[in-house]
Structure 1
């Protein structure tokens, strides 16, 4: 839920494609698909939903790992 005029900061796995993840943090079993998206694609979805996108960014928190951020408001 977002109040009128509210802002949103989305953080997500950046990149292309999907993969099945079977082990979580601490070695806990799980069965989840991780979907990677580009900040440009997330920004396009937000624009289509009526948001104003202020910024989008890719960062590298670890080697071979990409994260994405999109900051928007409505």
Structure 2
């Protein structure tokens, strides 16, 4: 039964086997801060009753949630 030798017989193949391609180092991820006053797409879980409350007035419910959260953040009572 024919089998391939463990070591290359050809000197060129032996030399090539020693110089395996080097892996490029991965560049570290750069954390970029969001610009002020820009909106970011996020996914959060909200109680269905809370979601219904903000959606009952129609379009713009995401802005109303944002305004309520901003009011809480600034220490004002929510609408």
Please confirm whether the aligned pair reaches a TM-score higher than 0.5, indicating the same fold. Answer: no
Q: Which has a greater percent of helix?
A: 2
Bucket of the pairwise TM-score, normalised by the shorter protein:
under 0.3
Q: Which has a greater percent of strand?
A: 1
**TM-score normalized with structure 1 length:** 0.22
**TM-score normalized with structure 2 length:** 0.21
Higher relative contact order (CA 8 A, sep 6+): 1
